[in-house]
Amino acid sequence: MKTYLRWNKKSAYSLAALAPLINFEGFTSEPKEGIMVYSFSTKQAQFFYDEVLEFASNSKKTIFIAGGPHPTGSPEETLDYFDYVVIGEGEETLPELINAIQNNIDINKIEGIGYRSNSGEKVYTNPRSNVDLDTYPCFDPTHLYSPIEISRGCPWKCKYCQTPELFGSRMRHRSISSILKFSKYYSDIRFTSSNALAYGSDGIHPNLDKVELLLSSIAELGEKNIFFGTFPSEVRPEFVSDKALELVLEYCTNTSISMGAQTGSDAIMRSISRGHDVNDVIIAVERCIDHGIVPNVDFIVGFPGETPSDQMKSVELMKWICNKKGGKVHAHYFTPLPGTPYSNSLPSSVSKDVNKELGKLALKGKLTGTWQSST
Ligand code: SF4
C-alpha cells in the first residue's frame, strides 16, 4: 500500500520531522487510497474528521492514521473517525505502525498506539518512552524544512497547555553538534522549544553557559542570522535575565523577545499553575527595555473562572507594555484542549469593556491575535 502524508500547514513542523522516517509517495491535500497519515490540532479536528468520514463513505481502501496534539489528547474521540492513533511522539511509533500494516505484523506489540479492533472495540497498547532528539533529524531538506527543534518537553504544568502531555515533563535537548548540522541549511536560523532560554537545563533552572555555547558555536559557522527567543518559540519571563539578554544582543539578529505572560491577574496566574507571578512579567519587560529589546508578550483571555476584574488586570498590563514600554502584545482566546486539566472547562466570556480596550490596542497596531470566541 502506498503511504501519503496529508499536507497541513499548521502541522508542517511535525510533518517535516516524520517525513524522513517513512517511505511515502508524497504530501497530498486530499485523501487518496492507501495509508493516509494526518497530524492536527484541536481547531482542525472537525475539518479532518469530516474529510475522513466523507472519503471513507465512498472508498474502503484507505487506512487512516492520526497523530499530533489533538489525537494524543483525545484518542478515544479520534478513533471514532480514524483507524489508528499515534499517541505522543511519532518518530518511532509511526514507522513501526506503517510497517506492521503493510506486512501484516501484530500491531499489539507496537507501543504508543490506539486502534479499532475488528469487533469495533477501541484498544490501546502500552505507552512509548520519549525519544532521544539526536537520534532523529529535525527535517530532511529533500522533503520539507522546519525551524530547528532544540528542546522538547516541559517540566511546568500550565493547565491549558498540551506540551507536557504530548512530549512529557522532562526537558530534552538536541546536542549542539546536531543543531550545527541543521544550521548549515539556513542563513536565517530559527528554533522551536518550549522555552528557548532553558536550552541545556532542566527547564526550571537556567543553564546560560550552555545557551552561550550553543549560540557561539552557531556564530562560528559564519554569516548566519540567529533568531533566538523569538517566533516560533517563546520564553518564560523568569528566564529573561540580564545575562540572557546580553547573550541575545551579542550573538543574535533579533531585536525582540517573545515571552508568555498569559494574564495580568495573580489570582488567575495561580489558578492556571503558571509557576511565576505578574511581577516576573513586569521585571522581564523592564529588562528587555533596558537592553533595547522589544518585548512581544503573549496573553490568553477567557480562562475558566476569569472575572471581568481579572481580565481588566490583563488589559492594564497590556496597556503598560504597549503604551508605556513600547512593547507589543499578542492575545488568544482560551481553548480547552484535550489531554489538559482544562479539557472539560468552559471559557469565560470576554467582557464588553475588555473587548473595547483590546480593540483600541489592535487599532493602534500594538496588539495582534484573536481574543474572542469564534463560536
Ligand atoms: S505553557 Fe509553556 S511553560 Fe507552560 S507547560 Fe506549556 S510549554 Fe511549559
Q: Which amino acid appears at position 61 of this protein?
A: K
The answer to whether the beta carbons of residues 48 and 40 sit under 8 Å apart is yes
DSSP reduced 3-state for 247: helix
The answer to whether the beta carbons of residues 297 and 331 sit under 8 Å apart is no
Give the integer Cα–Cα distance in Å for 239 and 171: 15
Which atom of ligand 1 is the closest one to the Cα of 236?
A: 3
Centroid of chain to Cα 13 = 9
DSSP reduced 3-state for 94: helix
CA of 161 to the centre of ligand 1 (A): 6
Does 255-375 match 147-242 at the fold level? yes
Q: Divide the 375 residues of the chain into consecutive groups of 10 and give the mean pLDDT of each group.
A: 96 97 97 97 97 93 96 98 97 98 96 94 97 97 96 98 94 98 96 98 98 98 96 96 98 98 98 98 98 98 97 98 96 96 96 95 94 75
CA of 102 to the centre of ligand 1 (A): 37
Which atom of ligand 1 is the closest one to the Cα of 155?
A: 8
Q: Which CATH class is domain 147-242?
A: alpha beta
The answer to whether the beta carbons of residues 348 and 371 sit under 8 Å apart is no
Which residue out of 152, 154, 259, 281 has the highest number of ligand 1 atoms within 8 Å of its CB and is therefore the one to mutate? Answer: 154
Q: Which amino acid appears at position 68 of this protein?
A: G
197: Cβ below 6 Å to ligand 1? no
CA of 324 to the centre of ligand 1 (A): 27
Give the integer Cα–Cα distance in Å for 23 and 4: 9
Per-residue confidence (pLDDT) for residue 353, from 0 to 100: 95
163: Cβ below 6 Å to ligand 1? yes
User: What is the DSSP annotation of 17-77?
Assistant: HHGGGS--SEEESS--SEEEEEE--HHHHHHHHHHHHHHHHH-S-EEEEEESHHHHH-HHH
DSSP reduced 3-state for 352: helix
193: Cβ below 6 Å to ligand 1? no
Task: Give 335's DSSP letter.
Answer: -
Give the integer Cα–Cα distance in Å for 366 and 323: 8
164: Cβ below 6 Å to ligand 1? yes
229: Cβ below 6 Å to ligand 1? no
Q: What residues contact residue 220 under an 8 Å CB cut-off, 6+ apart?
A: none
* Cα dihedral 222, 228, 230, 231 sign: positive
CA of 223 to the centre of ligand 1 (A): 32
Give the integer Cα–Cα distance in Å for 69 and 84: 15
For residue 288, with 0-12 CB atoms within 10 Å meaning exposed, 13-18 middle and 19 or more buried, which class applies? Answer: buried
CA of 120 to the centre of ligand 1 (A): 36
CA of 188 to the centre of ligand 1 (A): 26
CA of 85 to the centre of ligand 1 (A): 24
Per-residue confidence (pLDDT) for residue 375, from 0 to 100: 61
Ligand 1, atom 6: nearest CA belongs to which residue?
161
Which atom of ligand 1 is the closest one to the Cα of 274?
A: 4
Domain ranges of the chain: 3-124, 147-242, 255-375
Which residue out of 151, 158, 162 has the highest number of ligand 1 atoms within 8 Å of its CB and is therefore the one to mutate? Answer: 158
Q: What residues contact residue 345 under an 8 Å CB cut-off, 6+ apart?
A: 304, 336
Give the integer Cα–Cα distance in Å for 70 and 45: 7
Per-residue confidence (pLDDT) for residue 122, from 0 to 100: 97
The answer to whether the beta carbons of residues 139 and 115 sit under 8 Å apart is no
Q: What is the CA radius of gyration of the chain?
A: 22
Task: Give 170's DSSP letter.
Answer: S
Ligand 1, atom 2: nearest CA belongs to which residue?
194
Which residue out of 157, 161, 270 has the highest number of ligand 1 atoms within 8 Å of its CB and is therefore the one to mutate? Answer: 161
Task: Give 257's DSSP letter.
Answer: E
Which atom of ligand 1 is the closest one to the Cα of 162?
A: 6
C-alpha cell at 127: 505507552
Could you give the count of Cα atoms lying within 13 Å of 33 in the half-sphere of its Cβ?
A: 5
Give the integer Cα–Cα distance in Å for 370 and 267: 23
Ligand 1, atom 3: nearest CA belongs to which residue?
156
Per the listing, cell 503493510 goes with: 102
Per-residue confidence (pLDDT) for residue 66, from 0 to 100: 98
> What CATH number belongs to 3-124?
3.40.50.280
Give the integer Cα–Cα distance in Å for 288 and 280: 12
233: Cβ below 6 Å to ligand 1? no
Give the integer Cα–Cα distance in Å for 266 and 224: 40
What are the backbone dihedrals phi and psi of residue 367, each rounded to the nearest 5 degrees, phi first? -125, 135
**Domain 255-375 falls under CATH 3.30.750.200:** yes
